[in-house]
Chains A and B, each alone.
Chain A
Amino acid sequence: DGGITQSPKYLFRKEGQNVTLSCEQNLNHDAMYWYRQDPGQGLRLIYYSQIVNDFQKGDIAEGYSVSREKKESFPLTVTSAQKNPTAFYLCASSTAGHLVYEQYFGPGTRLTVT
């Protein structure tokens, strides 16, 4: 089945450690996105990528890094510089182009840092 997978569903880390969240899609989409969801704040865009080997900062990129070496994969690293990393992280993808295409979302990863 085509879709987006995020693993793991729950992730626990100690403060001061970097952690990488996985996002894979087999929808042949060029564009991929990372959002952060906190209670009462909706979804906020962290990073997005329109094509392989290219990505741009979203609204809250500080303390995060990404790579886009393959079309199918867009991993997000939460670094120790991120002050409040505990959150629910959602990955999405869409066809890229000047028409508006639907974003398809993965099931999310709940990250807890203690």
Chain B
Amino acid sequence: AQTVTQSQPEMSVQEAETVTLSCTYDTSESDYYLFWYKQPPSRQMILVIRQEAYKQQNATENRFSVNFQKAAKSFSLKISDSQLGDAAMYFCAYRGDNTGTASKLTFGTGTRLQVTL
């Protein structure tokens, strides 16, 4: 079974600074997909960024980018120019390629990000 590990329960960053959240995963599959979700205090889950394992180029969405290291099974999220609205729980998630037509996700335990002035 696949597992997703987020080893940082809490992180803190100053406004306008950069922070990196870590995620590692364990899988025997060669094709898969990785995601970062954000859960603000409202508890609404929001997709931040996704990465296809077959793509060598790291995904980028505005201030959010990933460092995908397939051999190391590592998928970190970098948030640049942090804003107060970035404060939330961040979850790393894995989706294998052999899950039929439904996108079953395996989630990590989350990292709580605080943004300070």
Interface residues of B (CB under 8 A from A): 4, 6, 9, 33, 42-47, 50, 52, 91, 93, 95, 100-110
Contacts and interface: CB of A to CB of B under 8 A. Distances in A.
Contact of A33 (B9, B46, B100, B104): B104
A63 interface: no
A48 B104 contact: yes
Interface of A: 30-31, 33, 35, 40-45, 48-50, 56, 58, 88, 90, 92, 94, 96-98, 100-103, 105, 107-108
A103 B43 contact: no
B105 A102 contact: no
Contact of B44 (A58, A103, A107): A107
B102 A31 contact: yes
A97 B107 contact: no
A94 B103 contact: yes
Contacts of A33: 102, 104
A41 B102 contact: no
Given A42-B108, A100-B33, A100-B52, A50 B100 contact: yes
Contacts of A102: 47, 50, 103
Contacts of B106: 45
Given A88-B43, A100-B95, A42 B102 contact: no
A2 to B, nearest CB: 15
B101 A31 contact: yes
Contact of A97 (B50, B101, B108, B109): B101
A25 to B, nearest CB: 14
B45 A50 contact: no
Nearest to A110: B43
A45 B61 CA distance: 27
B45 A105 contact: yes
